[in-house]
Structures are given as structure tokens and as C-alpha cells.
Amino acid sequence: MKGVILHGGHGTRLRPLTHTGPKQLIPVANKPISQYVLEDLRNAGIKDIAIVLGDILPEKVKDHYKDGSDFEVKITYIYQEEPKGIAHAVKLTEHFIGESPFVVYLGDNLLKGGISNFLRKFQEKDYDAMILLCEVENPQQFGVAEFDEDGTLVRLIEKPKKPPSNYALTGIYFLKPIVFSMIEKLKPSWRGELEITEAIQLLIDEGYRVGYEKVSGWWKDTGTPEDILEANMLVLDDLEPRIDGTVEDKASIQGRVFLSEGALIKRGALVRGPIVIGKETIIESGVFIGAYTSIGNNVYIKNGEIENSIIMDNCVIDINGKITDSIIGANSQIVKNQKVPKGYRLILGEASKVIL
């Protein structure tokens, strides 16, 4: 088995966060989203992985993953450049895949429990393709599955106005190389893209064995700031507490907290988990950090309250108010100008500066 991680797309719904890097590198619980994907493939026994790069600073992806050896995998990089659809990106991997079955995994998707059990079913049943489905409240926003009365998969529809079911396709596809022949038959959709749903539909129509499995745990497509904050909450809910940094006397830690090496929580600070705090980060006296917050490396929080937010690396926060439901890009500064007794909700790109 080989793996393919799709790392393209413009991430327009996540701007300004995606002006300075691909959306898949946005951290959730202090780890890039696509790293969860790569580790899921590795933990399922898939070590030969292609990453399909887009045109938003692909060098940042290569800087993070390099040749894959730090993650115990081998990485091949393939450039898609223009976002012409998932099926187009998959077709670019044909030479890399060769005759091997493979898993395509969108780099901005998170799946509780991972793919190991699903991979085993794909292999045991010898499917030509297998999709994972998740019941959602808003199927109009996804590719949706239609079943006959016996529960057999009969049709896949991309973003239907009248969905035939509430079961959306997750961004995870188990495939055999026959799919490349189907992609060659495709024409661009109304979106100007080659749709993977249409390629799999051709497999169904031509009598190939296409199976499906329903996801029982949570699945997140992290396409919006709200999705990313929810994913952060879901991951932190499974956090294993650990204190590798320093907690001064009379600092208060409540709940599950992961405090990284070199981090410091000073006396008089209150930290209420689940929370992850990165290396060399300093939480000053009087600061309150509330639940479901991820704070990156080398962050300095001098004053203020933060809750249900993601603070990326090398930020400085010194305010009199409260930050909540926010995502703060790396190297940003949020400093006080005057006392303002209210909360703030912020989505800041990298290297921003805000004076409140």
C-alpha cells in the first residue's frame, strides 16, 4: 500500500491565515493538520507517501516534512500547481503509485481513531475502491452518497441541492490503479475541476467493486476558522496531561494540561485545561488561560485572558481584555492601548500587530 496526501487548494475561507502558507499546516493542538494525516498513514503501516503540493508556499511543506525520515516514512513530492480538482491531483500520482493499491487522504481532514481498521476491510474484501462516509447535518456542502433499498451504494453526487442522504464523503479514499483509467474519461465539472466523485461513479457504473464504510467517531473537514477551532476542541478532549515545563508555587493548574519543556507558568497565573502549551512559552502572573486553548512555542503572554483559541508560535499578548474563539497567526503581537472591558474575537494572519 502507498499513501497520497493532498496538500493543495487556496484556502480562501481561511484567509488571512492562508496568505502566508497552506491551510494544511495550520496547527491544531500545536501540530499541523496534515501531520495528523501523515501519522495516521504511518500508523496504518503505510510508509511510502506522496505529498501533492499546491501553489501556496509549497516550500513550507517541504521544510516541515523534508524527506520524511523524521516521521519514519519516505516522502515523494509532486507539484499540482493549479487547483484543478482532487481527481486531477490523484492522476498526477500515477507514476508514483504504479501497480500498488493506495489511500488518498486530504491533508486538511481529521479522523478520530484513524484508518487502520478501514484499510484492513478494504484489503480483506478486495474492493477496487472504498469510500468512508460520515453522517452530517449539512450534506449540501459535500459529496453525498445515495443507496438503494438494500443499502447498496448506487450514486455519488457532488454538493447536491436536494441530498439523497445525510452521508457525506470524507476526504479519504481507498483505491486501486484502475481509478486512473476512470479519471482519463472525465471532463471538468461546473467548478472547472476533475471530480473524484465522478471517477468513483464511473467505477460503479462499469461494474467494479466499490464499497463503503460509515465512520462512527468524529470526522472534521477543517475548511473554515470555526472548523479548525472545533477540531482543536476535539483533539484536546483526548489530551493526555503532562508537565515537562515549570509551574511556580501559587500558580494554579486545573484539568488536563500538557506543558512542554522549557515552558513557564508563573505564580498567580490560572491555567484551566484541556490546554496544550508549547516550548519556551511564558505565562505571566495574573493571566488566565481557559479551556480548549492551544498555545505554540516561544509565546509570551504578559496580561489578559484567553479561551477556546489557537495561538501560534512566537506571539506576544499583553491586553486588559479577553480573547476568545480566535486563531492568532505566528509572530503576531496583540498589545493594549487602553482598558477595554470586553472580549475580542480575532482571526489574524502571520506577523500581524494589533493595538487594542
**Same domain, yes or no, for 156 and 265?**
no
What's the pLDDT score for residue 321? Answer: 87
What's the pLDDT score for residue 9? Answer: 75
pTM assigned to the model: 0.89
Contact between 6 and 89 (Cβ < 8 Å): yes
What domain range is 296 assigned to?
242-355
**Same domain, yes or no, for 293 and 338?**
yes
What's the pLDDT score for residue 48? Answer: 98
Which residue, of 214, 236, 258, is where some domain finishes?
236
Query: How many domains is the chain built from?
Result: 2
CATH of the domain at 337: 2.160.10.10
**Same domain, yes or no, for 198 and 295?**
no
**Same domain, yes or no, for 225 and 252?**
no
**Same domain, yes or no, for 247 and 176?**
no
Best CA proximity match to 330, nearest among 12, 59, 16, 111: 16
Per-residue burial over 135-147, b if 16 or more Cβ lie within 10 Å, else e, is ebeebeebbbbee
What's the pLDDT score for residue 355? Answer: 63
**Same domain, yes or no, for 117 and 134?**
yes
CATH of the domain at 27: 3.90.550.10
What's the pLDDT score for residue 185? Answer: 95
List average pLDDT for each run of 10 residues in the chain, which is 356 residues long. Answer: 90 75 91 96 97 91 96 96 88 96 95 94 95 90 88 87 90 96 91 89 94 90 88 93 95 95 97 97 97 97 96 94 92 76 68 67
**Same domain, yes or no, for 28 and 47?**
yes
**Same domain, yes or no, for 275 and 211?**
no
Q: Establish whether the linkage from the previous residue to 139 is cis, with ω within 30° of 0.
A: no
Helix H or strand E segment including 233: helix 225-236
**Same domain, yes or no, for 126 and 231?**
yes
Which residue, of 236, 269, 301, is where some domain finishes?
236
Which residue, of 187, 218, 236, is where some domain finishes?
236
Helix H or strand E segment including 230: helix 225-236
- Residue 313 φ/ψ, nearest 5 degrees: -60, 150
Q: In three state form, how does the secondary structure of 256-293 look?
A: CEEECCCCEECCCCEEECCEEECCCCEECCCCEECCCE
**Same domain, yes or no, for 165 and 260?**
no
Distance CA 186, CA 98 (A): 20
**Same domain, yes or no, for 271 and 338?**
yes
**Same domain, yes or no, for 217 and 322?**
no
What's the pLDDT score for residue 343? Answer: 66
